[in-house]
Amino acid sequence: MNSRKGPNRKLPGMRTLIHLLSIIGMMSLNVSTTIAQEAPNIVWVSFNDKQEDLPADDAAALGFEMASDHVYTQLLRTAGANITRHLSADGDIDTGVLNAADLVIISRSVVSGQYDDEASAWNTTVTAPVMMMTAYILRDNRKGFTTGNTIVDTVDLIRLKAEDPSHPIFEGVELDAENVMINDYANIVTFNGIVQRGLSVNNNPIIDDGKLLATVGTESDPTFGGMIIGEWQAGITLEHDGGSEVDTLAGHRLAFLSGSREINAPVSTAGIFDLESDGEQLFFNAVNYMAGSNLIPPPRITSVSPRNNTTFADAANGFSFKAVSAVEIPVDGINVKVNGKDVTGSLQIGGVPLAREVSYSGIQSNRAYNIEITISNPTGTRTVNLGFDTINPDDLIFIEAENFNFDGGKFFTDLVLCNDFGGTVNGCYFDRVSKSGIDALDVNGVSDDRDFDFDAVPPEVFRLSATGAKEEQTDTFISSDVARDLYTDAPDGANGAIQDYDIELIAPGDWWNYTRVIDKGSYSAILRVSSPSDAEFELGIVSGSAAQENQNVETIGTFSISGRAGYQSVTLTDSNGELIPFDLNGEQTLRLTATSGSEAAINYFQLTPFSEDEEPATPGVFQGITSNVDGSITINWTGGSGLERTTSLSSPSWQSVPGASSPYTVANPADAAFFRIAP
């Protein structure tokens, strides 16, 4: 039996639109659709010098199955570039390989100390253009592109401010009146359930002969104003501490910062892809600018609303996104699945072929949504998975995963947040121990537990025991989910800040009982979970006493999780994928059971009052448009409750078309605009 000692464990988001193009015409974007005739030769310098699917040895030991920076080179290779991965190592640099390239890119996944004594060689003997993705090698004590050595990490989504918006790097990227990106640049990434550190930024000014192109434009971030993109031309002088040298720059250089920072792990785990859609566009623009190429990435999905991992979204706003490409996107190249169901026929699709504006209005209140978007055109196919929920927080009943029953069927009605060791605070589940087979079941017991610091402040584990030993078999560790106000607003406890916790190290067959007193009514349920692979959990109601073994459980439904990075909210459904309402009244014991999957981490599940009028109406499905000989146009559809029209997509004001039913004829072309099927 373990005791509280020794630091170990690492700490770880419709209606169909018919655009009558023949009547109102189309806009066009000033983007070339010419495919590059000759692929650029790019040398990718990285700690991960093998192919994308072979991580460095020390990264593989931590669960990496691919090179940490593999997404960047895969994207470039898919777009047509010839990629050579090259080892970043101490000692002489291979100028023969580097100078033969159209572009050299130094990945975020490098050891900055290797650019100390070798700084002058990189500066004075590499004549090929070089794009640098890590702030650490730019510092005064390395290669000398900035005037200081301060490094600060981003803490959340960031947007960039274009200091020179006319520069070709910003082509195709939307900016506001202050030249700040409309959409996000980069995010904080998670790997194997562990939140990585953000993008590392050198906040010191660049040298006088450099050109500042983009800075962090998110005022709330500690890196605000720091350089993300900067440029230096051949022939300028660099002074640096790396060997106390004064160098004349041999070639064109660009700083383009991207890639996560490692957390309590080898640097070979740094450099995980962190760019959002418009950030990826900037990346390709930068590569093309430096290499003189015209690589065209597959279609991008941007301006997503609600954003991925949004909670409490307003269902009335529906769901929307843009699909953008340098090559036309056909309407039939857009596919959307909502909670596993294909809703492509109910999409509203507007915009222009190079920038499709897509929306879906079949979003209902008090639901969890997992969306799969697939966009295809001649440049390739892009699939994005994301999720959000439309829960009304005023109606919501949270049941924290770690707050399962203890001591043989005991539970609390009035909950208290605490972190006092020993389970001494009434109303608080911290350090309470369950009885195996009565309150919970961990099929592996303590045999699969990982190391952690028993005396850490704040505590790394939620439930141990009154003795300070690891007696609780269920594994409850600090959550890496988005922090909720419940915890961020809570005053510190006896052992530091109050933390949110997950159930982790889950195996099929594990289960947990939650006894609560709940107002009489009908409810639906949503599970908040992280799982990189597919998994399933069942929710049931315990009949009879929750203080005895061999309890009878009536299964209500299943949480079916499609594996993807990050946390997602999953609705309880039946075997057909339909939402399940269920009745509760007074004291009830709910049981959550793991039926498949072994990589999940559960944060909480939530109950929401359910009423029949929340059920979605039969979605409208567009059947086609007919052009008639007299110049009129006939619209055909099924489902929905009627037809709506607007004359503008930029600021739509949808109005019902009185008496409209399918088929509906637009007799006068002057009356044609945008139409959609009302829900």
Question: What letter does residue 264 receive in the DSSP assignment?
Answer: S
Residue 21 has pLDDT above 60, yes or no: no
Q: How confident is the model at residue 577 (pLDDT cuts 50, 70, 90)?
A: confident
Lowest mean pLDDT among 257-266, 583-592, 639-648: 639-648
CATH number, span 36-291: 3.40.50.880
In three state form, how does the secondary structure of 47-96 look? CCCCCCCCCCHHHHCCCCCCCCCHHHHHHHHHCCCEEEEEECCCCCCCHH
Inter-axis angle of helices 277-291 and 70-78, to 10 degrees? 70
pLDDT in tens, 506-548: 999 999 999 999 999 999 999 999 998 899 999 999 998 999 9
**Structural contact between residues 319 and 310, judged by C-beta atoms closer than 8 angstroms:** no
State the Cα–Cα distance between residues 110 and 386, nearest whole angstrom: 31
User: How do beta strands 440-441 and 511-531 pair?
Assistant: antiparallel
pLDDT at 661: 77
Dihedral sign for Cα atoms in the order 119, 124, 126, 130: positive
Residue 7 has pLDDT above 60, yes or no: no
pLDDT at 14: 24
Q: How confident is the model at residue 336 (pLDDT cuts 50, 70, 90)?
A: very high
pLDDT in tens, 660-672: 778 888 876 555 5
Which of 583, 462, 572 lies closest to 521, judged by CA? 583
pLDDT at 626: 76
Rounded to an integer, the average pLDDT of 438-467 is: 89
Residue 612 has pLDDT above 80, yes or no: no
Residue 37 has pLDDT above 50, yes or no: no
Q: Give the position of tokens 């592109």.
A: 145
Lowest mean pLDDT among 29-38, 117-126, 440-449: 29-38
State the Cα–Cα distance between residues 297 and 665, nearest whole angstrom: 41
State the Cα–Cα distance between residues 139 and 20, nearest whole angstrom: 56
The model's pTM: 0.68
Q: How confident is the model at residue 679 (pLDDT cuts 50, 70, 90)?
A: low
Question: What letter does residue 423 receive in the DSSP assignment?
Answer: S
Report which of residues 6 and 251 the model is more confident about: 251
Rounded to an integer, the average pLDDT of 582-586 is: 92
Question: What residues are paired with 674 via a beta bridge?
Answer: 19, 646
State the Cα–Cα distance between residues 107 and 272, nearest whole angstrom: 10
Which parts of 234-301 fold into alpha helices (H)? 277-291
pLDDT at 85: 93
Domain ranges of the chain: 36-291, 300-389, 397-613, 621-678
State the Cα–Cα distance between residues 318 and 638, nearest whole angstrom: 20
Question: What letter does residue 612 receive in the DSSP assignment?
Answer: G
Residue 616 has pLDDT above 50, yes or no: no
State the Cα–Cα distance between residues 95 and 587, nearest whole angstrom: 74
Lowest mean pLDDT among 157-171, 210-224, 376-390, 497-511: 376-390
Which of 318, 293, 601 lies closest to 475, judged by CA? 601
Q: How confident is the model at residue 115 (pLDDT cuts 50, 70, 90)?
A: confident
User: How do beta strands 82-87 and 41-46 pair?
Assistant: parallel
Residue 404 has pLDDT above 50, yes or no: yes
CB atoms within 10 A of CB 114: 19
pLDDT at 23: 21
- Burial class of 338 by CB neighbour count within 10 A (0 to 12, 13 to 18, 19+): buried
**Structural contact between residues 478 and 12, judged by C-beta atoms closer than 8 angstroms:** yes
Q: Give the position of tokens 């009244």.
A: 585
Report which of residues 386 and 642 the model is more confident about: 386
Cα radius of gyration rounded to whole Å, the chain: 28
Phi/psi for 370 (5° steps) reads -120, 120
CATH number, span 397-613: 2.60.120.260
Lowest mean pLDDT among 33-37, 66-70, 281-285: 33-37
State the Cα–Cα distance between residues 504 and 39, nearest whole angstrom: 46
Q: b or e along 293-311 (b: 16 or more beta carbons within 10 Å of the residue's beta carbon)?
A: bbbbbbbbbbbbebbbbbb
Q: How confident is the model at residue 609 (pLDDT cuts 50, 70, 90)?
A: confident
Residue 117 has pLDDT above 90, yes or no: no
Domain 300-389 is in which class?
A: mainly beta
Lowest mean pLDDT among 73-77, 390-394, 613-617: 613-617
pLDDT at 192: 73
Tokens of 481: 């989910």
Quote the mean pLDDT of the chain: 86
CB atoms within 10 A of CB 52: 18
Query: Which range, 126-130, 323-327, 478-482, is most confident?
Result: 126-130
Question: What letter does residue 616 receive in the DSSP assignment?
Answer: P
Q: How confident is the model at residue 34 (pLDDT cuts 50, 70, 90)?
A: very low
Residue 613 has pLDDT above 60, yes or no: no
Q: How confident is the model at residue 28 (pLDDT cuts 50, 70, 90)?
A: very low
CB atoms within 10 A of CB 124: 15
Residue 1 has pLDDT above 50, yes or no: no
Percentage with pLDDT > 70 across the chain:
90
Q: b or e along 144-176 (b: 16 or more beta carbons within 10 Å of the residue's beta carbon)?
A: bbbbeeebbbbeebbbbbbbeeebebbbbbbbe
Residue 618 has pLDDT above 70, yes or no: no
Q: How confident is the model at residue 54 (pLDDT cuts 50, 70, 90)?
A: confident
pLDDT at 241: 77
Rounded to an integer, the average pLDDT of 217-239 is: 95
Q: Got the DSSP string for 459-510?
A: -SBS---TTSS----SEEEE--SPPPHHHHTSPPBTTBS---EEEES--TT-
Phi/psi for 45 (5° steps) reads -90, 125
Residue 649 has pLDDT above 80, yes or no: no
Question: What residues are paired with 284 via a beta bridge?
Answer: none
State the Cα–Cα distance between residues 312 and 44, nearest whole angstrom: 42
**Structural contact between residues 94 and 85, judged by C-beta atoms closer than 8 angstroms:** no
Residue 427 has pLDDT above 90, yes or no: yes
Residue 375 has pLDDT above 80, yes or no: yes
**Structural contact between residues 522 and 611, judged by C-beta atoms closer than 8 angstroms:** yes
Rounded to an integer, the average pLDDT of 251-276 is: 92
Asked if residue 306 has a cis previous peptide bond (ω within 30° of 0), the answer is yes
Residue 553 has pLDDT above 80, yes or no: yes
State the Cα–Cα distance between residues 71 and 63, nearest whole angstrom: 16
Question: What residues are paired with 349 via a beta bridge?
Answer: 358
Question: What residues are paired with 175 via a beta bridge?
Answer: 181
Dihedral (C-alpha) 240, 241, 243, 248: value to the nearest 10 degrees? 0
Residue 13 has pLDDT above 70, yes or no: no
pLDDT in tens, 122-139: 999 999 999 999 999 999
